[in-house]
Structure 1
Amino acid sequence: MADRERIPNINARRLGLYLRRAREIIEWSYEEAAARSGCDADWLARVETGFAQPTVADVERLLERYQVRAAKVADLMVDLATRPNGPDWLAPLLPDIKALKRDGLISEAEACVVHSYGMRLIPPLAQVEEYTRLLNSHRLPPHNPEADWDIVLQRQRFRAGGRPRFLDLIIDEDALKQVPEPKVMTAQLRWLLALDESPDGRVRIVPSSAPLYEDRTCNFDVLEFPGVSDRLSLAHSVFGVELAGTDLTDLWTLIEEESALPRDESCEIIRHYLNRLTTQ
């Protein structure tokens, strides 16, 4: 059996965790909570560990019995119950991806804030079509460029529950020099400037002169979610994005405070490279 079938997906586990926290706050045992909610204690235990998927009505009933329906996180729990397997666009990919990648993509889709760091490459959520297609044209074994771009586009466009998402980018200056195709980089740099001017994003650059250390050599994300203080971290590799094995919040903060330039100086660097490309 594949690991993705043995391991409940991250949405089911997060929903179960929040329901368990709510039950523990009112200090009810499984048996007491089940009796007062009109459900089976074994089923409730499976829900809290992600091995059973409650309906929206089930979650609403539990929250009402726990008397926490007015809590901020309650709406998030109800919303998670509407997507027990993540966004619809992910379904065709599930047979071919492992649990860590599945959960990474689901977590990214659910986040309301994505802090994304790119060392040598622009992070996927900030890539324009030309950039994605050029990168994928060099992948081995060869991939379907249409399918690859469609996945990136779905990741960029999806908004869980219709909520806005803020994309907070820190990109190493080297990433602005890695692609030698002027037309591709012109489109990419213009998009970065447009993102920084929008209410949906912020772009900062780590200059080439900044000290380099090992932890800063890999792309990663730190995700925030609505109504809770929990954060999840994602690691990027040649195989895609997946849940990181450790919390990378402190690393993000270190890069942000010690290496990244302010937004205005960052945009000046981007404009510098854009001007070089457009005046060639």
Structure 2
Amino acid sequence: MAYTSEERAQGLYQRRPIGDDGLPSAVLPEMYSRTTAGPQAAAMILGERLRELRVERAITMTSAANAIGCSVSLLSRLERAASQPSLKHVRNLAKYYDVTSEEAESLASLVSQALAPKWWHAYNEVVPDWWIRLVGLESAATCVRLYEMRSVPGLLQTKEYARAVKKAGGVSEVPEGLLDFQAARQERFFGGSIQSTFLLDEGVLYRTFGGFEVMASQMQHLIQEFDNPNLRIRIVPFSAKIGSPVASLTHILFAGLPDVAIVESVDSAVFISEEPSGKYKYLMDRLIYDSSSRSDSLEMLKVAKKRFASEISV
């Protein structure tokens, strides 16, 4: 379904039950006031609209950047919502693109919303910038699909499991602020109505972090999450026909805006904006297709929990 610029500036997807492909089973525009847009959503809507205005006028990024006295990289970050917008730059762009006064004020309003305080700012000193950006994207998402090969995804980790994973990665003393941030991230993510699918490689059920008791508790937590109607957990078995070329992949969908794929490494991530037909969506579709059923995935987790629990007293 194609959306007009106005619909992209105002529309959100109506949440529906998750389908077999890990996406909401129906996607419909749901109108809402711009004053209700969250900071990250406002920044993304702003960036997409500025890019549209530039492309519609056949203006190159270099010409636009020179016209308002900024670098091409800064303008690129503005259009991708990769950095905070400047009201001065946005007003100058509106003037250069010769938009109507109503459009100019709409853009300025989006800047104000994008600059509103964000809950994660309190953790800036303990959380890397790429993680902050990821959480910002999550806050604007309608659907999140995630594949993890190494460990349980951060959004599903227990506190002790998270601590053990960080230590295994070379962090000798894990800051409590980092664990508090992860807990706050989980609360906000699952406290909303984001549709989410988590794919865990079968190896995650065997790789031990923090000892058997920590692992048994983590498996129990995953089992309990099967009752969440907005969340789907599936195991990608060793026998899957397709293997992932990346260890950690997140595919995020938004209302009327391009998808974003995030490829994570140990201490960094690459963010790729793409159309829905992009290669990362295809990869995620294939992984979901090859994943085990709900009942089989749940049984695999129960077996893993039992296996770890049996080792506790040994």
- The runs of 5 or more residues in structure 2 that have no matched partner are 1-38, 60-66, 70-74, 92-98
Alignment match, 1:127: 157
> Structure 1 residue 19: deviation in Å?
3.2
1:230-241 mapped onto 2 (5 Å cutoff): 230-241=258-269
Aligned partner of 2:299 in structure 1 is 268
Task: Indicate the residue corresponding to 1:171 in structure 2.
Answer: 200
Query: What residue identity is the alignment partner of 1:269?
Result: M
Q: Give the Cα–Cα distance (whole angstroms) in 1 for the partners of residues 268 and 116 of structure 2.
A: 19
Q: Quick one: percent identity of the two aligned structures?
A: 20
| Counterpart in the other structure of 1:207 | 237
Match of 2:253 in 1: 224
Decide whether the 8 Å contact of 1:101 with 1:243 is kept in 2: no
| Contact kept in structure 1, 2:258 and 2:273, CA below 8 Å | no
Q: 1:95 to 1:264 in 2, by over 3 A?
A: closer
Q: Does the Cα contact within 8 Å between 2:158 and 2:221 map onto a contact in 1?
A: yes
Of 116, 119, 122, the residue aligned with 1:88 is 119
Matched, 1:65 2:102: yes
Q: Find the counterpart in structure 2 of residue 185 from structure 1.
A: 215
Contact 2:250 2:261 (C-alpha < 8 Å) held by counterparts: yes
Where do 1:72-111 residues align within 5 Å? 81-84=112-115, 87-93=118-124, 97-98=128-129, 100-111=130-141
Provide the C-alpha distance between the structure 2 equivalents of 1:229 and 1:91, rounded to a whole number of angstroms.
Answer: 28
Match of residue 243 from structure 1:
271
Work out whether 1:136 is the aligned partner of 2:166: yes
> Is the CA contact 1:105–1:241 (under 8 Å) kept in the aligned structure 2?
no
**Is the Cα contact below 8 Å between 1:103 and 1:243 reproduced in 2?**
no
Q: CA deviation at 1:102?
A: 4.1
TM-score, length basis structure 1: 0.68
Distance in 1 between the 2:109 and 2:221 partners?
35
- Tell me what 2:179 maps to: 149
Could you list the per-position Cα deviations for residues 44-83 of structure 1 after superposition, in whole angstroms to 9, with x for gaps in the alignment?
xx897467445xxx9xxx99935xx9xxxx9xx9788534
Residues 159 and 255 of structure 1, relative CA distance in 2, 3 Å threshold: closer
**Aligned counterparts of 2:236 and 2:224: Cα–Cα separation in 1:** 19
Say whether the 8 Å CA contact 2:120–2:132 is kept in structure 1.
no
Partner of 1:38: none
Change (3 A) 1:237 1:159: same
* Residue in 2 that maps onto 1:36: none
Q: CA deviation at 1:93?
A: 1.7
1:158 CA drift (Å): 2.6
Secondary structure, aligned partner of 1:167: strand
* Amino acid in structure 2 at the alignment position of 1:16: L
Structure 1 vs Structure 2 CA RMSD: 4.2
Count how many residue pairs are aligned between Structure 1 and Structure 2: 243
Aligned counterpart, 2:285: 253
Cα distance in 2 for residues equivalent to 1:198 and 1:140: 33
> Unaligned regions of 5+ residues in structure 1, if any?
1-8, 31-40
Answer yes or no: is the 8 Å Cα contact 2:259–2:273 preserved in 1: no
The SS at the match of 1:158 is helix
Distance 1:139 1:52, change over 3 A: closer
- Specify the SS of the correspondent of 1:82: helix
- Give TM-score scaled by structure 2 length: 0.62
* Contact in 2 for aligned 1:117/1:220 (Cα 8 Å): yes
